[in-house]
């Protein structure tokens, strides 16, 4: 990001402005941009939501969100109040025909005031409205970019529910907006540490020669969360971990790790290379294949530090007999020259012992051992890319233990972002919103990419739907999920990397 660039004057329209995402992520991120003077000179935020709020109530809510979630928590009241002057709000109901006309009238006034009609529409609504709102915008002529004014549409996840619904949604959006106007967001690509994977791989000579099946034994990607589903039980019941995290975030990470070097760093070159990876994902072949290579789990109640933690089935708005997975671990292959035969392992879950997202590149063992190792017979090099928290990287390698003889021990060389003095790390949404303002789609998903990711995930969803004999395991909250997820890892005694221990000791995993 070139911090000197200022986006062109425009209006940011947020649909779903009274919702949780706007409160926790979007508005605090716009505030971060405001503080860094990265917003255009003429700029306005227009909130549209289904909650009746006065402008004062809206501002109060946004102020609270800024104080809690922005990078400038509890900032000077006066500065926040100045920022809040940029806000307006209207109650907006997609079922009421007159509301879109009112919205247009409101925008027209702002257009006159700002002397621009450039607009970003951000869909932060329930997914059922993703095809309704673009149609409404088109019905009053608010969708088309012209020579003098652009219109962009940002679509939040979940983008579809399976391949068919994602395909239908793409088709629908393309009736009203052109592909280059559509920004499909996956906030994982907005994370600084994820972008740094491009730089690690393509700006250093030492990694790329090793980055293939000749030197890499396996790749492991984990996104663990310690929180449960919180207030999102209703959403989660229709989603589950596979749709919520794997189809998007974890496959994106896979794409960035596995892609070929692009010929240049322009949006389409990057997106073309990532989609090639998605096309090469070996599809799961029927229910037996899924049962063997995909482990699903659901957290059960447990006691952590003396506190009783409810199981998923006891959460609000969750069916007490729910069979929705809150954990998933899978093994798959990428069928191309670079990765032929290298297993990829993905794992994600709620109510695991800690919040950690990381990629672990496990290198192959050396071909012949000359020295004895203090702890392990066969310690392989590992590159650990820590996405969050404690953002950074670690390279594990062998060194001689000082003293007599030649005994070796594995040690770590690490880099931590926290050691960079005065470096501001932007929030994922902040980076992505800013890119959209500048018209940079590199970190957004093209329609074909989302659909291809669903094509990979669909056979798992179908197998689970059609065969309830495929086990769903219960794991106590605060543990690393079903223990048999370790069986996925090929190789004698090999397991996932466990960055910390289980924090709950009661209960065991069992089949539900």
Three-state secondary-structure class, residue 186:
coil
For residues 157 and 296, which CB has a smaller minimum distance to ligand BG6 in the complex? 157
What secondary structure letter does DSSP report for 281?
Answer: B
DSSP string, 287-306: HHHHHHHEEEEEEE-EEETT
Minimum CB distance to ligand BG6, residue 237 (Å): 13
φ, ψ of residue 413 in degrees (nearest 5): -110, 125
- Residues 470-499 within binding reach of ligand BG6 (CB under 6 A): none
Minimum CB distance to ligand BG6, residue 302 (Å): 19
For residues 357 and 445, which CB has a smaller minimum distance to ligand BG6 in the complex? 357
How open is the CA angle 41-29-227, to the nearest 5 degrees? 175
User: What mask, x for binding ligand BG6 by CB under 6 A, covers residues 191 to 220?
Assistant: ------------------------------
7: left (phi over 0), alpha (psi -120 to 50) or beta: beta
Minimum CB distance to ligand BG6, residue 324 (Å): 12
Please enumerate in sequence order all residues whose Cβ is within 8 A of that of 437, keeping only pairs 6 or more positions apart, or say none. Answer: 7, 8, 10, 40, 120
For residues 244 and 325, which CB has a smaller minimum distance to ligand BG6 in the complex? 244
As a residue count, the chain comes to 512
244 binds ligand BG6 (CB under 6 A): yes
Minimum CB distance to ligand BG6, residue 466 (Å): 26
CB closest to ligand BG6, residue no: 244
For residues 169 and 185, which CB has a smaller minimum distance to ligand BG6 in the complex? 185
Minimum CB distance to ligand BG6, residue 234 (Å): 13
For residues 18 and 252, which CB has a smaller minimum distance to ligand BG6 in the complex? 252
Catalytic residue among 10, 217, 249, 362: 249
196, 359 Cβ separation under 8 angstroms: no
User: What mask, x for binding ligand BG6 by CB under 6 A, covers residues 78 to 117?
Assistant: ----------------------------------------
315 binds ligand BG6 (CB under 6 A): no
User: In the structure encoding, which two tokens stand for residue 61, read together?
Assistant: 């809510």
> Cα(357)–Cα(362) distance, rounded to whole angstroms?
16
User: In the structure encoding, which two tokens stand for residue 304, read together?
Assistant: 């952590």
Residue 279 a catalytic site member: no
For residues 192 and 273, which CB has a smaller minimum distance to ligand BG6 in the complex? 192
φ, ψ of residue 247 in degrees (nearest 5): -55, -30
How far CA 236 is from CA of 54, 228, 230, 299, 481, in Å, comes to 31, 10, 10, 13, 18
User: What mask, x for binding ligand BG6 by CB under 6 A, covers residues 148 to 177?
Assistant: ---------x--------------------
| Candidate residues 49, 69, 83, 225; the one interacting with ligand BG6 per rule CB under 6 A | 225
427 binds ligand BG6 (CB under 6 A): no
Q: Which strands form 327-332's sheet, in the order they lie side by side? A: 372-373, 407-416, 392-400, 382-388, 356-363, 216-224, 344-349, 327-332, 294-300, 472-476, 510-511
358 binds ligand BG6 (CB under 6 A): no
Which positions lie near ligand BG6, rule CB under 6 A?
A: 157, 225, 244, 357
Residues with active-site annotation: 249
């Amino acid at each position: 990001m070139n911090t000197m660039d200022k986006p062109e004057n425009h209006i940011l329209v947020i649909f779903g402005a009274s919702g949780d995402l706007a409160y926790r992520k979007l508005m605090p991120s716009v505030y971060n941009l405001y503080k860094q003077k990265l917003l255009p000179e003429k700029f306005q935020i227009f909130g549209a939501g289904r909650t009746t709020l006065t402008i004062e109530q809206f501002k109060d809510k946004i102020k609270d969100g800024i104080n809690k979630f922005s990078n400038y928590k509890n900032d000077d009241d006066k500065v926040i109040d100045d920022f809040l002057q940029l806000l307006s709000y209207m109650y907006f109901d997609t079922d009421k025909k007159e509301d879109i006309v009112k919205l247009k009238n409101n925008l027209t006034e702002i257009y006159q005031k700002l002397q621009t009609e450039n607009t970003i529409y951000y869909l932060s609504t329930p997914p059922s409205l993703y095809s309704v709102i673009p149609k409404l915008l088109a019905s009053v002529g608010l969708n088309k970019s012209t020579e003098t004014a652009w219109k962009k549409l940002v679509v939040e996840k979940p983008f579809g529910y399976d391949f068919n619904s994602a395909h239908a949604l793409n088709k629908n959006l393309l009736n009203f907006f052109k592909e280059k106007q559509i920004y499909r967001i996956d906030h994982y690509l907005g994370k600084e540490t994820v972008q740094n994977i491009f730089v690690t791989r393509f700006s250093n000579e030492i990694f790329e020669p090793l980055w293939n099946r000749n030197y890499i034994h396996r790749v492991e990607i984990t996104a663990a969360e310690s929180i449960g589903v919180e207030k999102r039980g209703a959403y989660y019941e229709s989603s589950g971990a596979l749709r919520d995290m794997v189809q998007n975030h974890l496959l994106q990470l896979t794409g960035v790790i596995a892609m070929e070097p692009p010929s240049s760093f322009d949006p389409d070159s990057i997106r073309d290379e990532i989609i090639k990876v998605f096309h090469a994902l070996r599809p799961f072949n029927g229910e037996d294949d899924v049962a063997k290579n995909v482990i699903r789990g659901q957290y059960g109640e447990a006691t952590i530090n003396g506190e009783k933690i409810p199981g998923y089935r006891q959460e609000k708005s969750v069916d007490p007999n729910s069979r929705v997975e809150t954990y998933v671990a899978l093994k798959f292959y990428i069928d191309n020259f670079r990765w032929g035969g290298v297993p990829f392992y993905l794992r994600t879950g709620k109510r695991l012992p800690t919040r950690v997202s990381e990629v672990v590149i496990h290198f192959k063992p050396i071909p012949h051992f000359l020295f004895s190792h203090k702890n392990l017979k066969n310690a392989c090099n590992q590159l650990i890319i820590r996405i969050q928290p404690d953002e950074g990287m670690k390279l594990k390698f062998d060194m001689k233990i000082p003293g007599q003889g030649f005994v070796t021990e594995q040690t770590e060389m690490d880099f931590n972002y926290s050691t960079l003095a005065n470096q501001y790390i932007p929030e994922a949404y902040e980076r992505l919103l800013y890119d959209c303002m500048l018209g940079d789609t590199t970190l957004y998903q093209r329609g074909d990419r989302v659909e291809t990711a669903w094509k990979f995930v669909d056979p798992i969803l179908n197998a689970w739907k059609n065969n309830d004999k495929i086990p769903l395991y219960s794991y106590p909250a605060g543990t690393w999920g079903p223990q048999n997820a370790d069986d996925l890892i090929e190789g004698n005694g090999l397991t996932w990397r466990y960055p910390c221990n289980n924090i709950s000791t009661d209960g065991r995993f069992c089949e539900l």
